[in-house]
Structures are given as C-alpha cells and as structure tokens.
C-alpha cells in the first residue's frame, strides 16, 4: 500500500482559498502566512528594494480579496498571486526605474538567526548570508526568480511555478539544476564563503 503524498503548497493554498470564498474569513490569514514567503522572494527576485516589495505584496493581497470570486479554480490561487506580484513589480520598476536593492536581506528571509548562537557564530552566519546573497544576485534573473520561488517552500508545485514564470514544467528541474550548479561555482570561487 502506498502512502498518500503530502499536499503541495498549491494544494494547501487552494484549500484555504476555497474555504475563504465559502465564508470562512479566518482562512485568509492562513493563506497569507502560507504564501507571503514565496511572494516575498518573487518580489525581491524582480530586484525590488524591501519597501517596494512590501508594497507590491500588499497590493497583490488586496487584488486577491477584490477578485476572489473571479478566480474560477482555487487551485490557481498560488499561480495567480505569483503572477500578480510579478506584474505589479514590473509596473513599479517601469514607473520608478530599475531598483537594485542595496539593503541587506532581512534575517527572516533566510530563516532567521537562532537566538542561542554566540556572537562569533552569529557573525560567521551573517557573513555567510551576505556571501550567499551576493552570489545569488550574480545569477541570471531567470535563475534568481526560479530559485527564490522553489527554494523556500517544502514541496513546490511545478505547475504553478511554470505558469507564474512562463517556463515549461519539464524545464524547471533541469533549469533549477543548472542554476544551483552556477551558484555552487560562484560560492566556491568566493573566498569569503565558509565551507565549514
């Protein structure tokens, strides 16, 4: 007997969104908690600064509430939100000019730093994070967008990723592999990257 596969991020989002549309307004909070990390990485992957990314994500959530009844299939909510964030980011970039983030990525963006670390370990972890994000920023925009979306969820839904990024489903895995190989070579060549 095979065990059923655990639900994907898109499945969990669809369930919360369907319940929200059926009147359980509390499920929107669950949807926000579930998808905001992916939307954050999508917005930052478009090279928005932190404030612009926050504004874009807030706009996407407002548009979802306004358009909830227009989304025919709850399973599409993840792709709809990712696409909305990307389009809104492009609109902001076109209006304001190409924003290149100069601020450090917030701690929460890479999982935070445990409070139990001693100062030396915390300093090393922060330097490793800076090295990692410097290398990520040197990848192509396509690689950045793909890695930001799939690297921060337990089980990415390749169908939703495909729709949101305009990539064939069959190319996501190989592209991800090439992007990770390029990132690995950038990190290996970076003398500040810790290999411990």
79-106 pLDDT tens trace: 899 889 988 988 888 887 654 444 444 4
Burial 159-178 (b: 16+ CB within 10 A, else e): bbbbbbbebeeeebeebbee
Given a cut of 80, whether residue 176 has pLDDT beyond it is yes
- The pLDDT of 167-194, averaged and rounded, is 86
Least confident among 36-45, 59-68, 103-112, 186-195 = 103-112
Size (the chain), residues: 196
Domain range summary for the chain, segments of one domain joined by +: 9-103+138-189
Which CATH topology does 9-103+138-189 take? Butyryl-CoA Dehydrogenase, subunit A; domain 3 (1.20.140)
Q: What is the pLDDT of residue 5?
A: 65
13-39 pLDDT tens trace: 999 999 999 999 999 999 999 898 888
Could you identify the residue written with the tokens 């169908």?
159
Largest CA distance in the chain: 56
């Amino acid at each position: 007997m095979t065990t059923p596969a655990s639900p994907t991020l898109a499945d969990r989002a669809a369930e919360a969104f369907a319940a929200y549309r059926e009147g359980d307004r509390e499920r929107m909070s669950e949807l926000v908690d579930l998808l905001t990390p992916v939307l954050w990485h999508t917005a930052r992957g478009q090279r928005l600064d932190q404030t612009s990314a926050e504004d874009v994500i807030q706009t996407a959530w407002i548009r979802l509430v306004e358009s909830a009844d227009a989304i025919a299939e709850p399973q599409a909510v993840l792709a709809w939100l990712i696409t909305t964030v990307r389009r809104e980011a492009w609109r902001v970039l076109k209006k304001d000019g190409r924003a290149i983030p100069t601020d450090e990525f917030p701690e929460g963006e890479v999982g935070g730093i445990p409070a139990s670390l001693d100062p030396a370990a915390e300093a090393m972890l922060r330097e490793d994070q800076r090295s990692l994000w410097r290398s990520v920023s040197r990848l192509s925009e396509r690689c950045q967008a793909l890695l930001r979306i799939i690297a921060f969820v337990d089980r990415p839904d390749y169908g939703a990723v495909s729709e949101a990024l305009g990539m064939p489903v069959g190319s996501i895995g190989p592209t991800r592999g090439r992007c990770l190989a390029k990132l690995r070579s950038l990190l290996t060549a970076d003398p500040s990257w810790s290999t411990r």
